[in-house]
Amino acid sequence: MHSSIFRACMAPLCVLLSTWQAHAKMLPWQQVKAMPFIVQDGLEIARQARGKAPSSLYVVCSQNKELHLILSTRLPGPRWAIEKGRDDNVSLFVGGIEQQLKVVMDLVEKGQDLTWLESAVSRDGEGEPDTLVTTRIKADEIKTIGSWFGDTPPLKVSIVGYAETGVFMVGAVAGPAIAEFNASCVTE
């Protein structure tokens, strides 16, 4: 009798865990409905630095063989001030200020707004992420980014300038992975 009760209690837990695992494998940009292009493939190149807001930076290959950067993070500041469709000039820094690529990012998906009470008690970075996408990145710019990432993932990767905010991450891959992704996008 105890084993049947145990099995009855464990079955919903197993379903919950398997659902969570399937959801966890979905990348943030795969859930964005307002993406301005169809993404064929993507590579996470940077992720949240310790003690910083949750964030991920991807290089993606569109159906038209164009490369873009996608930033998934919860933008700081008042939610009412964050508007979809707002293009901003931003800088991607890798390692330090001497390795800077200027790009244009557009907010294509805004995470859910918080209620007044939720916003009063929340910390920066809490809530559904916002998704920002660059205009097309040239293949030689991706090569440059790959060279900045070097043989080991860099300790500092940041996007600065969108709504005067900054997102600070660490490298998730080394330069050869970015070069390989670039080559596979262009030749597919």
> Tens digits of per-residue pLDDT, 71-84?
988 887 676 777 77
> Tens digits of per-residue pLDDT, 29-44?
566 666 788 888 899 9
- Asked whether residue 18 carries a pLDDT value surpassing 60, the answer given is no
Give me the residue label for tokens 């916003």. 119
Which secondary-structure segment (H or E) carries 79? Answer: none
pLDDT of residue 1: 53
CA–CA separation, 159 and 2 (whole Å): 55
Phi, psi of 15 (to 5 degrees): -65, -45
- Asked whether residue 183 carries a pLDDT value surpassing 70, the answer given is yes
- Asked whether residue 22 carries a pLDDT value surpassing 70, the answer given is no
pLDDT of residue 14: 42
CA proximity to 132, closest of 72, 180, 179, 184: 72
More confident residue, 123 or 90: 90
Average pLDDT over residues 163-172: 84
pLDDT of residue 98: 85
3-state SS class at 187: helix
pLDDT of residue 23: 34
CA–CA separation, 147 and 139 (whole Å): 12
pLDDT of residue 118: 53
- Asked whether residue 13 carries a pLDDT value surpassing 70, the answer given is no
CA proximity to 181, closest of 39, 22, 71: 39
Work out the number of other CB atoms within 10 angstroms of the CB of residue 167.
28
CA–CA separation, 13 and 114 (whole Å): 29
CA proximity to 107, closest of 35, 17, 27: 35
Single-letter code of the amino acid located at 147 = S
What percentage of the chain reaches a pLDDT higher than 90? 31
> Tens digits of per-residue pLDDT, 110-145?
776 665 555 544 555 456 788 889 999 998 899 999
Average pLDDT over residues 51-63: 88
What percentage of the chain reaches a pLDDT higher than 70? 71
CA–CA separation, 141 and 67 (whole Å): 10
